[in-house]
Structure 1
Amino acid sequence: MSPPDQGQLVDVRQRRYVVTEVQKTVLPSNPLIQGIQSAQHLITLTSVEDDALGEELQVIWELEPGVHVHEKTELPEPTGFDSPERLDAFLDAVRWGASSSADIRNIQSPFRSGIDIEDYQLDPVVRGIQMPRVNLLIADDVGLGKTIEAGLVAQELILRQRVRRILIVCPSALQIQWRDQMRDKFGLDFRIVDSTLMKELRRRRGIHVNPWTHFPRLITSIDFLKRDRPIRLFREVLPAEGESIYPRRFDLLIVDEAHNVAPSGSGRYAIDSQRTAAIRLLAPHFEHKLFLTATPHNGYRESFTALLELLDTQRFARGVEPDRNQLQVVMVRRLKRELPPKWDGTPRFPERKLAAIPVDYSDIERRVHTALREYTDLRRKAAADDPTELYATEFVLKLLKKRLFSSPAAFATTLEQHQKSLQAAKRRKASRIAKPTVGILRRQVEQIEEEFADDGLYEESTEDAIANTSLLFREVTPEEQALLRKMQAWADVAVKRSDSKAKQLLNWIKQYIKPDGQWSNERVLIFTEYRATQKWLYDLLATEGLVAGDRLMTLYGGMDSQDREKVKAAFQANPELSPVRILLATDAASEGLDLQNHCSRLIHYEIPWNPNRMEQRNGRVDRHGQKASEVLVYHFVGKGYQHSAVGTRPGDLEGDLEFLMRAALKVNTIREDLGKVGPVIATQVEEAMLGRRTTLDTSRAERESEPVRRMLKFERSVREQIEKLREQLSETRRNFRLTPENIEAVVNIGLELAEQPPLIPLEIEGLRGQAYHLPAFRGSWSACTEGLAHPHTQEIRPVVFDPDQSNGRDDVVLVHLNHRLVQMCLRLLRAEVWSREGRKRLHRVTARLVPSSALEHPVVIAHGRLVILGGDQQRLHEEVITAGGMLKEGRFSRLNVGQVQMALDAVLPDPIPETVQQRLMTLWEGHKEPLLRSLEARMGDRTAGLQKALQDRCDKEVADITAILTELRQSILNELKQPEVEQLELFSNTEREQLERNLKSLEARLEQIPQEIEQEAAAIRARFRDPTPRLFPLAVTYLIPQKLI
């Protein structure tokens, strides 16, 4: 029994389905099993039954009993007539479900999202539909909307049936944000894979359930994924060693903040982290990949090329200089300053301004700072002749200084840990416990950064590192002990009250957020690096009456995810609805979160020594969607900072703060190019804080980063590119009739056919156009209200159909093509194609008036759905076609394509009298067959034209992949001919081992390329082989000249 084709109607298990996907097994047939000598097929079906509309079923066709294929569908009999509006809605529903992998002009995903899409955000999806395998490094500036761009690409690939199984890997704090945005903005349901889900799955499905296969669209955190058990479970669903990876098990991998998975670049050579290893395991088994990061290059060539190799092994190899042309193909990078202004000349993004908050520090605060500097000098001097001890010493001293700059509470905690560790180390030395090596210490310090997303784990890792480093310390001298006691005494008192900086913060809040004792609508986001500082500040602000009534909220790593989302929703809500005005956040909240809706002021309670972290903080409010004309970023400095001489030396409190402020100014100046210069700034800040440097000088790093800057910058006219994207979007809108009015008509008619109550009109003050409340729907339609609850108030919001009505508002919801309400209406209308007699809601026949000047005689037109399937039974192309002819003297005379379109363009809104409709019914038998033949002839003409286009696309994809892999082979050969790395003797053992692994990997990759060219070319040819057209008649339209009425 031969399998059905995609798009055919079948009866399975006494229910009616349409075939959406046909997959042939890759395993050989078994002649020993009777009746199964031919290859088996996995058939994916979608129900067209009323009570199970849209439900999916997968069956092995050859094993399924009682199946039946409906070989041919006829034109609908004119037993009745639909209103033109109903038939338009039906044809729109079919048209909007059509897609083509060969069509690289029309893009539907922007119309299937509930967001305010900027024209520049179309670039990734336009590129993606032209690529056989969509591998993109979306490296736009912070805040340009990389999540939106990734969602558009994913949506378009799903629509074109190129993607089904998706995995999003992101920082832990962003999992819920990704899930909600994919659901609310794109209508895509994702499930989060974490420890909670694994427990729930084991409870419901048994202990052997695999979380990576339970749902087609998943989200997980990189730090969960890298753990032993999750990665082992993932290995279970991958091909066994030696087994072919084709066809790939998964479709699309999205890695957010992808710089986190690049090999670490802290030494002389980039080393793989656990995160790198996890993505390296997964990446080959995904057909398409999107990597998102604002900082693609960390200054290490090996790290950047390794990231590129993870993205696309066919274009790039680790350690091999990337081909500039290939990099331009996969890399999407636009900077805010490059984008043209809006149509009215106003900037697209607000201006960022840095402002200083001067602090008049007390003498006792200066003396404590001096005491720490003296302690630092003594400890460093004592450890100068032992590199391992010096490394351990400087780690603890930097930590103490950073926490002293933060708050007395953070400093007191770390100082106490340090002193306890010194005592414990003294006892452990007496018992001759082995000291940790410098390699172990380095790994511990790096692990602290990996636990950065969870404040609790971050503190635990820090405590462990302090304990281990203290093992390497020499015994404390009396002078050092005196300094420790002095600092501890100050800290014990200071934690109980405000210090000078906290007092100045209170004054600032009272001036800008609560002027004259009254809360304004202004909001401020205050960042601190440490949870201890956050708790201390919270208590201080509480004593000033700034916490009551939810005026102040906190965000920190490791808090309950639901509580976190409530805080975020409250801060993002309109100040008229939400009382919160101050948000205290730790750095764990600084990566990827959107906090810009109603906040344009940000305060760094301490200046981070890591420039990338500072820029991540700034990006929470300086991003796409910021409504203010300027973003103000505040830093604390010593009093008189503006009048101090340039080049004030670090050492005392004011000098150190001035150095940090100059570093912050430098970061702001070069924020678009932190990859190479950022680590240099971080290193120089550490050196200055340890007394080893007096000036900030990044000139050499900036010169060395120039090649990287040139590599990442591609000459192009951004304005021209954006104009082309805008034209392409307008072309899709015209071709598919994608207007708010047509979408609203589909919903209204869909609800009417489903016998659901109509939408309830609503007038909203300040809103142009009509809004609607959703009524109380019955049955499965009640799910249409999901996502309508306001994130903060939880009130059900009204809906609108025009994107211009929802832009910049959170009190209405845009009903887009992928919204559940529209999808249910579209499925209901499309299912009418397969409706059985007696259950039809539509006749699929209409009659329309046209001016007598346009037509002399009546015209009958057939509408059909043309689907072209490839050799692998996947849909290559789909569109709605028309054909028809003139009814003259009782005979049918075929019209050409242009004549049919002109006749359709001339229709009038006036109704046709029922007597004319009755007359047309009696004429049906006379022109039924010639009308169907004209539609089939149109299918043949259109198919002939498309076959050449499909063959050209096939040839191009084969030529492209051959050229790409051939270029890669030559690049690897050139790299392997290079002399050995200079100064190899300075590499650590780990770095040397990594280099050796990379070289072996290059040699292995070189051997694989010829076979891979053959495999990829064969897979492409199989997809485009023997394109087979299938025609599904849809509807009939009669056009009647006015003079005949």
Structure 2
Amino acid sequence: MPVSPYAPGTLLHARGRDWVVEADSTPEALHLRPLAGSAAESCWIIPELEQTEDAPRPAVFPPPSPRRRGNRNELRLLQSAMRMRMRSGAGPFRSFGNLSVQPRIYQLVPLLMALRQQVIRLLIADDVGIGKTIEAGLIVRELIDRGEIQRFSVLCPPNLAAQWRSELQQHFNIRAEVVTSASIARLEKKVPPGLSVFEHFPFTIISLDYIKSDRHRDTFLNKAPECIVVDEAHTCTSVATVQTHQRYELLRTLADDEKRHMLLLTATPHSGIEKGFYNLLGLLDRKFEQLGDVSQRQRNTLRTQLARHLVQRRRKDILRLWEENDILPTRKTKELTYRLSGEWGSFFEEVRQYCVQEAQSSGSRMIWYAMLALLRCISSSPASAVSALQAKLRGDTVADIETDCISQFTDMPGQDSPDDVEAPAPEMERIHELLEKAQTLMQSGADPKLNLLHSATRGLLKDGYSPIIFCQYISTAKYIADALKKWFPKYAVKAVTGELSPTEREETVQDLFEEPKRILVATNCLSEGINLQNGFNAVIHYDLAWNPTRHEQREGRVDRFGQKAPEVRSIMLYGQDNPIDGFILNVILRKAVTIREELGVQVPVPTDEQKTGEALVHAVLLNDHKPASDLQLSQQVLPGLEDYVIDMAWKNSSEQGPQRATAFAQQALQPADVLPEYERFHHLLGSTEELRYFLSETCKRLGSPLEPLALEKDAYSLRLSNLPEPLIRRLLELGIRTDRQNACRFTLRPAGSELPTITRAHPLVATIADYLAEQSLDQNPTALALPRCAVIRAGVPQLTTLYHLRLRHHLTFSFAQKSRQIMAEELVTLIRAGKEPLRFASHEEQEHYAAIATSGNIPEGIAVMQLERALDQWHSLPILPLLKERADALAHDHQRVREASRMDAGSMQVACCTPPDLLSILVCQPII
């Protein structure tokens, strides 16, 4: 096999510019990255096909010119530009240079778990709002930057696709395409003939509802990427509905490829149905599907193995184990109950009697379910009652009931299988009579549940909260919204339901964010995945959900990372003597106990023992096959309830229940072992102050100074039209948004702002930094170029010289008899004081010399002489031992992280490419 004359990391000149040879080059084809340009300009060339004048030849990085010297501030700006454009860091975490978000140290735990696996299979089940998207993004970005994957797809509900695209681009510098039924035609126009959308676009966000269908499923499976992220993974089990089963079959096929990385994300992995939970675990490894069928000894062994693949931490785990006391608000909860009374109580009893008679006369268990669904509609609101009764008149099925949630109960009357039984025809006259009463109730104002909502909402508004009211039915949502508009005319009230498309829902919510006083009414279409913490800080559960995890999902819309309010509130409403609420409480509490026994976690449930007990007893009255005096039901469903705090005042949810860590809290992993890399990460990103300095000074130099916005601190406007034309073209190609004045508006502080947040890895910053660095490092610098050397007179005891370098490293990873090579870069500073040996400057020393006080000017001739002497010394100083020392230190850092993450056997080597790139020189002369 021929040997290439250009080893990875070496410099060559081709096509009129200088390049760095990347690690994946071969003798026949060279992968090149511009020495002074951006990674986006990388290309492949075949040396034998290049024209003679463009043929590759060795190149040398140009040294600073003593004749073109500047001041210390210009050197500082050049260093900032180089730091802002640095992407492929040399540390153990390759992705840090590409992040626009500063992860908390606890968010490194899933990354450490991923690093220990050759093929990553993780279920990230951290609590709602803790940051699962950040944790998954860290893993995916790391795999990309290590060269382990070239493609990945996020599979998520369609309403979350736009949010995923935004977060991947904003936080991880990943530009992904959204694939839905609405976007597929547009994307296909961009695909070359013979390829599919999934081949052409390396990073995609795909609607689960789109891809699960037989029409699109096989095309995707044939070209599925090496890495799959599944959001809201609990919606992809083989139980429940046909839809969830289709999703499960898709994931099952993807998981059968043992080489494919898979990240499953859900805050609620266990719905209380063990089969669904074990199906989900089986996507990690099929053996985990057996957890419910093996002996206790085998079960313990499997659970130990499962701990390598499952991380689940609750809020209190983060607060207690990681001392992250400032990232999440305090959640205060309260229960409010009402009683069925007057006309409303009489109406409910009439409907109940009708339903019992229908169910008993049929003998079908499914008819019982249908009657229960009708009663639940009646229990929700008069509007929902009208809608349900009208559906029965039309002969439609009232099918809004999750039969999987209640089919576990064997005390229901009727046959187990509905296949042989046909539902009897409805008694039209009786239904008409009930419908008329429901319509009358809608106008009477006698709804005790709605009146209780009025009181609860008024209390929250009085305390300055912006609430979201969650209910089960579209008709109920509209009914509530109409009432709220009359009660609170000074507030903007909107209802968001499944009638709206995902785009319309997003626009409605965004419109509400802009209102100073706002109330949102929503069905469960907004209960999963949507970030609402920027505009709301309270939740009211108007209708109980069959599944307690739904309550957690609802509350997680506001109680999450990024919530500005120090305290969020949650109110749960239910009827103290409402049989339907009692029946649902029966389901909820049974499921809550199952979840706690399986995973050691708790979910939001009503905790007033007396009132829940009364509601449970009333649930017996739903059918006549049990006597009303049977009080054993409350004892049957209440085991373990004593672990909950019972207090009708506002309760701190983080203090409820046992204070032990959950079964899969991963306490053994100690990210403190990688704290040095975490701190270097913060130095690499730079502070907000450094970013402000860089943008302010650079934009001023480029002819378009930042204009501060009066309404917010650290918010600015940048007019693109005043920038150099080549830079404008680059920014517009990246899709940088501008207003009517061709200005880009942004903030440097994300908390509390509705403007886009700019960080060092944002395309705007990276592109400006690339442009300034290109101008400054070019062989023939332009007028915009920054000088690369300076001489200052400062308070130093002896002549001190600082050499600022860019080091290029060749990293070789060996694992399972395979080797992989990647390139990495880092910025370092060497310092020499007087005749002392040359050494690496610490971060504190660099900060010191960047801020050291100067005094007086230095004559031109003396300055040039000192810079020429510094350059001569540079060529004669013993650099190679220092480079070897740095390479060994990097190898040690990588090994420490591998040990902290308990990675399997393997090795890695670091070799520094020579000569290093000398970016700039600063000579500090003592004050005489």
Using structure 1 for the length normalisation, give the TM-score.
Answer: 0.69
Give the 5 Å matches for 1:243-642.
249-250=225-226, 252-264=227-239, 273-283=245-255, 284=257, 288-298=261-271, 303-311=276-284, 321=299, 323-324=302-303, 326-340=305-319, 348-356=328-336, 358=338, 361-363=341-343, 365-384=344-363, 389-390=364-365, 392-418=366-392, 420-421=394-395, 472-473=421-422, 475=424, 483-491=430-438, 493-494=440-441, 498-501=445-448, 504=451, 507-508=454-455, 511-512=458-459, 522-539=465-482, 544=486, 551-557=492-498, 559-573=500-514, 575-576=515-516, 579=517, 581-628=518-565, 630-638=567-575, 641=576
Q: CA deviation at 1:555?
A: 1.2
Residue 689 (structure 2) pairs with residue 741 (structure 1): yes
Residue 923 (structure 2) pairs with residue 1035 (structure 1): no
Distance 1:961 1:928 in 2: 42
Distance 1:679 1:926 in 2: 71
Write the deviation string for residues 401-431 of structure 1: whole angstroms up to 9, x where unpaired.
Answer: 1111123333333334445549x99xxxxxx
Distance 1:157 1:929 in 2: 38
Give the 5 Å matches for 1:624-663.
624-628=561-565, 630-638=567-575, 641=576, 654-657=578-581
Q: CA deviation at 1:339?
A: 3.6
Residue 100 (structure 2) pairs with residue 113 (structure 1): yes
Pick one of 163, 175, 180 that aligns with 1:194: 180
Match of 1:920 in 2: 866
Amino acid paired to 1:867: H
Q: Do the aligned partners of 1:357 and 1:634 also contact (CA within 8 Å) in 2?
A: no
Q: CA deviation at 1:823?
A: 0.8
Match of 1:822 in 2: 765
Structure 1 pair 852–529 and aligned structure 2 pair: CA distance change class (3 A): closer
Match of 2:24 in 1: 22
Q: Which structure has greater helix proportion? A: 1
Aligned length: 864
Structure 1 pair 324–840 and aligned structure 2 pair: CA distance change class (3 A): farther
Pick one of 875, 880, 883 that aligns with 2:827: 880
Amino acid paired to 2:687: T
Write the deviation string for residues 966-999 of structure 1: whole angstroms up to 9, x where unpaired.
Answer: xxxxxxxxxxxxxxxxxxxxxxxxxxxxxxxxxx
Q: Identity of paired residues, percent?
A: 22
The root-mean-square deviation of aligned C-alpha atoms, in Å, is 5.3
Structure 1 pair 546–950 and aligned structure 2 pair: CA distance change class (3 A): closer
Distance 1:902 1:627 in 2: 37
Match of 2:705 in 1: 758
Write the deviation string for residues 380-417 of structure 1: whole angstroms up to 9, x where unpaired.
Answer: 43454xxxx32x21221121111111233333333344
Write the deviation string for residues 834-866 of structure 1: whole angstroms up to 9, x where unpaired.
Answer: 6233558547632344767643x5647462413
Q: Do the aligned partners of 2:791 and 2:867 also contact (CA within 8 Å) in 1?
A: no
Runs of at least 5 residues in structure 1 that lack an aligned partner in the other structure: 25-37, 239-248, 426-440, 450-467, 642-652, 963-1019
Q: CA deviation at 1:133?
A: 5.2
Residue 904 (structure 2) pairs with residue 930 (structure 1): no
Amino acid paired to 2:917: P
Residue 57 (structure 2) pairs with residue 84 (structure 1): no
Write the deviation string for residues 465-511 of structure 1: whole angstroms up to 9, x where unpaired.
Answer: xxx9798335459xx67654543443454466655146516743884
Match of 1:462 in 2: none
Distance 2:843 2:244 in 1: 63
Write the deviation string for residues 930-974 of structure 1: whole angstroms up to 9, x where unpaired.
Answer: 24xx334432443456567778989999x9547xxxxxxxxxxxx
Distance 2:672 2:891 in 1: 31
Q: CA deviation at 1:89?
A: 3.6
Amino acid paired to 1:280: R
Amino acid paired to 2:663: L
Give the 5 Å matches for 1:945-956.
none
Q: Do the aligned partners of 1:265 and 1:298 also contact (CA within 8 Å) in 2?
A: no
Q: CA deviation at 1:226?
A: 1.0
Match of 1:780 in 2: 729
Equivalent residue of 1:874, what SS? strand
Amino acid paired to 1:698: V
Distance 1:325 1:75 in 2: 57
Q: CA deviation at 1:225?
A: 1.8
Q: CA deviation at 1:150?
A: 2.9
Match of 2:637 in 1: 698
Q: CA deviation at 1:308?
A: 3.8
Distance 1:333 1:1031 in 2: 47
Give the 5 Å matches for 1:995-1006.
none
Amino acid paired to 1:176: A
Return 62-71 or 528-537, whichever deviates more: 62-71
Equivalent residue of 2:283, what SS? helix
Equivalent residue of 2:210, what SS? helix
Distance 1:659 1:393 in 2: 17
Structure 1 pair 725–403 and aligned structure 2 pair: CA distance change class (3 A): farther
Distance 1:862 1:617 in 2: 52
Distance 1:679 1:509 in 2: 18
Q: CA deviation at 1:12?
A: 6.1
Amino acid paired to 1:868: H
Q: CA deviation at 1:369?
A: 2.3
Using structure 2 for the length normalisation, give the TM-score.
Answer: 0.77
Amino acid paired to 2:682: R
Match of 2:650 in 1: none
Q: Do the aligned partners of 2:239 and 2:245 also contact (CA within 8 Å) in 1?
A: yes
Match of 2:199 in 1: 213
Give the 5 Å matches for 1:886-901.
895-897=838-840
Distance 1:821 1:566 in 2: 26
Give the 5 Å matches for 1:708-857.
712-714=663-665, 716=667, 729-734=678-683, 736=684, 738-751=686-699, 755-762=702-709, 767=713, 771-777=715-721, 778=723, 779-780=728-729, 782-783=731-732, 799-801=746-748, 806=749, 808-811=751-754, 813-831=756-774, 835-839=778-782, 842=785, 845-849=788-792, 854-855=797-798, 857=799
Q: Do the aligned partners of 1:9 and 1:69 also contact (CA within 8 Å) in 2?
A: no
Match of 1:975 in 2: none
Distance 2:804 2:457 in 1: 72
Distance 1:680 1:764 in 2: 42
Amino acid paired to 2:280: L
Runs of at least 5 residues in structure 2 that lack an aligned partner in the other structure: 292-297, 408-416, 607-611, 644-656, 814-818
Structure 1 pair 48–928 and aligned structure 2 pair: CA distance change class (3 A): closer
Distance 2:115 2:783 in 1: 37
Residue 93 (structure 2) pairs with residue 151 (structure 1): no
Distance 2:131 2:569 in 1: 21
Distance 1:169 1:866 in 2: 37
Match of 1:175 in 2: 161
